[in-house]
Structure 1
Amino acid sequence: MSVLSHLTRHIARSSSSKIPFFGTGNNVFVVPSRSLLSFGQPTLESHAEFFGGPMEIMPGLYREELKNRRNSLCNMILDWSSKTESRSSDLSHLIFIPASRKKYMTENIPYPFRQNSNFLYLSGSFDPEALIILCANRTEQIHMLFLADPDPMAELWDGPKTSVKAAVDHYGFDRAFQMSEFDGFVREFSRLTNKVKVWCEEKEIVEKLLHPTYGFELKNTESPKAILDAMRVIKSPSEISLLRQSCKIASEAFQQTIKYCAEKCSQGEPLSEHQIWAKIDYESRIHGADRLAYPPVVASGSRANVIHYVFNSNKCDPKELVLVDAGCEFFGYCSDITRTWPVSGKFVDDRHKSLYEMLLQVQIDLIKQVRPGISLDHLFRIMSSHLVKGLEELGIIKPGLGSRSKSDIALRFCPHHVSHHLGMDVHDTPSIERNDPLQPGMIVTIEPGIYIRNVPSQREILTPAGKEFIGIAMRIEDDVLVTNDGQNVLSGSCPKHIEDIERWGHINLAKSASRF
């Protein structure tokens, strides 16, 4: 009998959870009534508006896909081991993927909980303080989920958590246990074999979990992050659908926010960046988002030159532009959109209009370049060339700067990259290199920006007319799916053409005026 087979029989006999293991002789799992199961997150029963059936873990995402992800991770680790480990044929792998833990801002006041993306990707579970353990060798795999022990007092304060039975039924794990059973599982595993490779995102985590008396060799612990990034960077159809919905919600929030700003200005009411933040947050949540995906940038006037400005507390001048970089999270999948528009809803400053039209054309041209085979670094080089040409044609920078590279000049006015991967995290799959070729199923941002500041590196190449633009900053960002033959803009309904921005900025204003 193999190590893993012996282990499953041992823990099945000793477990207080008493859940039959899938497919072991006559010990066949019987699905309990869902009405008797406890879930710590939205399901068909609680949020019918999102789900099409009981086997959906997230809208459009079924437990079979989650099982396939766990299988794929194990297989990729086994393949890696066969190429790097001399003893790989008889080596067992223990892969630990922990859930996030509750964190507190002050005594008894928790921060909003956000699940570890890799844990969510492999389990579909939003439960805190849980642990995935995948056991794999050349002949078999076992996927297990350890959940926090039942605590009636904690559930009184925090609500229900997923039960052990629900973890097997709903998420498709082979076995599920309470965390109090973890010690017995590890001791039995270490008794059966000492030929073990441990995998965990952070070595410190397994050092706390695995006591030295267990006998595991931890100094060579590997991280599965790079392997998971390689899996997560290509989105499945269900993930694309979730990201498309996240982008749709965020786009609708921008539409309403542009209109809101114009209405406040038309009524002569003061408007602050904080109100704009509140409006886009409200509209995102009211249309189904879990939360904003990150602290938004709401920067009016010259404050938009601070790329990650998040104070969002100043008053807005109706004559100025406002740059809003915001996205939302929908069942763990993030959108990331930036729009720059006149606070009043109408482009009346020729400097704003001419610079915006140039930047918009750069962004449109870049989106057309998105296709399989091109890299994000290549897109940055294209942006650099287009930005420099555009600034020269507008008379903002001196002509004849050819002795300097386009990238050097562009970086003075746009000191950030033009793109990053997007998915469960805003800056998704960070181990994927920006010079790697894009593939169908990847989702990336396209976000050129121009920031004209009163700094020596810019002043020396600005023309006298260009110095009139000092203090103006803008960025335009969309979320783009790489398809087999090109691209699809997931955030395409978010206004960015001048006529669309002005239309949204003045919807209902004419009707309102006619009533007086």
Structure 2
Amino acid sequence: MKYHLIDRSLFIKNRGAFCSKMKANSLAVFNSNDIYPTGADSTMPFEQHRDIFYLSGVDQEESVLVLFPDCPNEKHREILFLKETNAHIAIWEGEKLTKEKAFETSGIKTVYWLTDMNKVFHEIMSQCDTVFINTNEHYRANIETETREDRFVKWLKKTYPAHAVAKSNPILQRLRAVKNPLEIDLIQQACDITEKGFRRILDFVKPNVWEYEIEAEFIHEFIKNRSRKFAYTPIIASGNNANVLHYVENNKQCKAGDLILMDLAAEYANYSSDMTRTIPVSGRFSERQKEVYNAVNRVKKEAAKMLVPGNDLPTYHAEVGKIMTSELLGLNLLDKADVQNENPDWPAYKKYFMHGTSHHLGLDTHDYGIITEPMQANMVFTIEPAIYIPQEGFGIRLEDDVVVQETGEPFNLMRNIPIEIEEIETLMNA
């Protein structure tokens, strides 16, 4: 854990909000993620399940959280089960949470070792009617691996078939979508670390640099500032590579005159930032590159004005499409006939801008949030319009992270990251 300890009041408040949405006489269970093997005795770095982290702050494997707000035994209304630590584990793996440290982290007083779970769980199951299970229902989820949570659900249904089952995910989708001020501060820290990385590479990029060298400069700065890693797989796409939406090879040499599209960002304390910037390899944009860049930037600024309470993402995306259509007409990439004859299910602008403009951001880069429901204050969204022109050998995408406000335009968490052409050129040629 590189990040500073988070104020446990965040997790206490999150648990209170979740419990207030539960059915009477029900309990909810949340499991940590597995550590996944890569082969032989090697494993992937551990990534905590975001839901148990959101509710407890516990950031280690083999952890279980149980919430039972109506439990007759007050001691069992909040329970953490943890892997028991010992001197051997401390030597080989490093220190794990003690019961005292778990309380300091989460605010949960009742902490048992996992060896006691079956006994304690049987007791509280005899006192409840319904169990909230935690399944992944994110609209972009595509899960092919059986998780620790999946195995627990199978065991639960087999062992306690008479209990009713409810879903945690709809509650969490709504709760996690609206950020606590402490969460916004953590996302801001991730954005600030991303800014440090971007400013570093503005001084670094020159003709003939390799994309992976730029990646190395970013991760150097991120880790130096207490980020554990990139928030998602970094995209560093020079020239025509920018027209591959999920280009992640990052193994080409950057040529004079080309642009580099960089979609990457730091995480901090499991919270994501999400940035895209497009810069010239030679330190100066061509006139055509400027035209397209400024068009994308105008779309981004107009889109921001629509991220307001009461709007919803489908309506918002349709309106952004109209703005983009106007810009593409101005760039002579579309003509009036293209628009008049367009397929409503795949509008003409989709030829050059085929993805969405915004998504929820938080503990996950594509965070929880029900996209058909109205936006609310303190939701955090990305704004990432783009224009991809394979026939001209470049693509431009720009992206900031913003917080929806009660009134007025959203607050830009990336307000200090250079984006205007003049500032980028000045910094690259200083």
TM over 0.5: yes
Structure 2 letter corresponding to 1:501: I
Q: 331, 356, 364: which one pairs with 2:301? A: 364
Do structure 1's residue 395 and structure 2's residue 341 form an aligned pair? Answer: no
Instruction: Quote the offset at 1:254 in angstroms.
Output: 1.1
Instruction: Quote the offset at 1:427 in angstroms.
Output: 0.2
What is the rounded CA distance, in whole Å, between the counterparts of 2:36 and 2:297 in structure 1? Answer: 41
Aligned residue number for residue 472 of structure 1:
394
Summarize the alignment of residues 298-313 of structure 1 with structure 2, pairs less than 5 Å apart: 298-313=236-251
Do structure 1's residue 116 and structure 2's residue 49 form an aligned pair? Answer: yes
Aligned residue number for residue 281 of structure 2:
343
Instruction: Quote the offset at 1:137 in angstroms.
Output: 2.7
Aligned residue number for residue 146 of structure 1:
81
Instruction: Quote the offset at 1:177 in angstroms.
Output: 0.4
Change (3 A) 1:399 1:337: same
For residue 96 of structure 1, give the secondary structure of its aligned residue in structure 2. strand
Aligned residue number for residue 289 of structure 1:
227
What is the rounded CA distance, in whole Å, between the counterparts of 1:72 and 1:364 in structure 2? Answer: 34
What is the rounded CA distance, in whole Å, between the counterparts of 1:325 and 1:403 in structure 2? Answer: 33
Aligned residue number for residue 223 of structure 1:
167
Do structure 1's residue 64 and structure 2's residue 9 form an aligned pair? Answer: yes
Select the structure of larger CA radius of gyration.
1
What is the rounded CA distance, in whole Å, between the counterparts of 2:109 and 2:419 in structure 1? Answer: 48
Change (3 A) 1:298 1:428: same
Aligned residue number for residue 28 of structure 1:
none
What is the rounded CA distance, in whole Å, between the counterparts of 1:350 and 1:365 in structure 2? Answer: 23
For residue 503 of structure 1, give the secondary structure of its aligned residue in structure 2. helix
Q: Contact 2:8 / 2:107 at 8 angstroms: preserved in 1?
A: yes
Change (3 A) 1:207 1:385: closer
Unaligned residue ranges in structure 1 (runs of 5+): 1-40, 51-56, 79-87, 454-468, 508-516
Instruction: Quote the offset at 1:138 in angstroms.
Output: 8.1
What is the rounded CA distance, in whole Å, between the counterparts of 1:369 and 1:77 in structure 2? Answer: 33
What is the rounded CA distance, in whole Å, between the counterparts of 1:443 and 1:394 in structure 2? Answer: 31
Q: Deviations over 1:482-511 (max 9, x none)?
A: 11112111011111110011012112xxxx
Aligned residue number for residue 5 of structure 1:
none
Structure 1 letter corresponding to 2:356: H
Q: Contact 1:70 / 1:143 at 8 angstroms: preserved in 2?
A: no
Change (3 A) 1:209 1:248: same
Aligned residue number for residue 172 of structure 1:
107
Instruction: Quote the offset at 1:113 in angstroms.
Output: 1.6
What is the rounded CA distance, in whole Å, between the counterparts of 2:44 and 2:267 in structure 1? Answer: 16
Structure 2 letter corresponding to 1:344: S
What is the rounded CA distance, in whole Å, between the counterparts of 1:369 and 1:309 in structure 2? Answer: 29
Instruction: Quote the offset at 1:475 in angstroms.
Output: 0.6
Structure 1 letter corresponding to 2:65: I
Q: Deviations over 1:69-96 (max 9, x none)?
A: 1122122012xxxxxxxxx5xxx32211
Q: 355, 364, 375: which one pairs with 1:416? A: 355
For residue 450 of structure 1, give the secondary structure of its aligned residue in structure 2. strand
Q: Contact 1:200 / 1:206 at 8 angstroms: preserved in 2?
A: no
Do structure 1's residue 374 and structure 2's residue 296 form an aligned pair? Answer: no
What is the rounded CA distance, in whole Å, between the counterparts of 1:94 and 1:289 in structure 2? Answer: 35
For residue 254 of structure 1, give the secondary structure of its aligned residue in structure 2. helix
Instruction: Quote the offset at 1:68 in angstroms.
Output: 2.3
Instruction: Quote the offset at 1:289 in angstroms.
Output: 1.7
Do structure 1's residue 73 and structure 2's residue 11 form an aligned pair? Answer: no
Instruction: Quote the offset at 1:132 in angstroms.
Output: 0.3
Deviates more, 1:143-152 or 1:165-174: 165-174
Q: Contact 1:452 / 1:473 at 8 angstroms: preserved in 2?
A: yes
Change (3 A) 1:152 1:216: farther
Q: Deviations over 1:112-141 (max 9, x none)?
A: 221111111111111211000111338767
For residue 146 of structure 1, give the secondary structure of its aligned residue in structure 2. strand
Deviates more, 1:382-391 or 1:418-427: 382-391
Identical pairs, percent: 28
Q: Deviations over 1:302-331 (max 9, x none)?
A: 111110111111111121011000011111
Structure 2 letter corresponding to 1:187: H
Moved over 4 A (4+): 138-141
Structure 1 letter corresponding to 2:186: L
Q: 75, 92, 96: which one pairs with 1:157? A: 92
Instruction: Quote the offset at 1:297 in angstroms.
Output: 0.7
The TM-score, its normalising length taken from structure 1, stands at: 0.75
Structure 1 letter corresponding to 2:197: A
Do structure 1's residue 239 and structure 2's residue 183 form an aligned pair? Answer: yes
Q: Contact 1:259 / 1:345 at 8 angstroms: preserved in 2?
A: no
What is the rounded CA distance, in whole Å, between the counterparts of 1:187 and 1:201 in structure 2? Answer: 19
Change (3 A) 1:151 1:106: farther
Q: Contact 1:338 / 1:478 at 8 angstroms: preserved in 2?
A: yes
What is the rounded CA distance, in whole Å, between the counterparts of 2:255 and 2:187 in structure 1? Answer: 34
What is the rounded CA distance, in whole Å, between the counterparts of 2:191 and 2:134 in structure 1? Answer: 29
Structure 1 letter corresponding to 2:353: C
Change (3 A) 1:171 1:138: closer
Instruction: Quote the offset at 1:283 in angstroms.
Output: 1.6
Aligned residue number for residue 494 of structure 1:
417
Unaligned residue ranges in structure 2 (runs of 5+): 136-148
The TM-score, its normalising length taken from structure 2, stands at: 0.90
Q: Contact 2:56 / 2:106 at 8 angstroms: preserved in 1?
A: yes
Change (3 A) 1:217 1:318: farther
Q: How many residues align?
A: 412
Structure 1 letter corresponding to 2:368: T
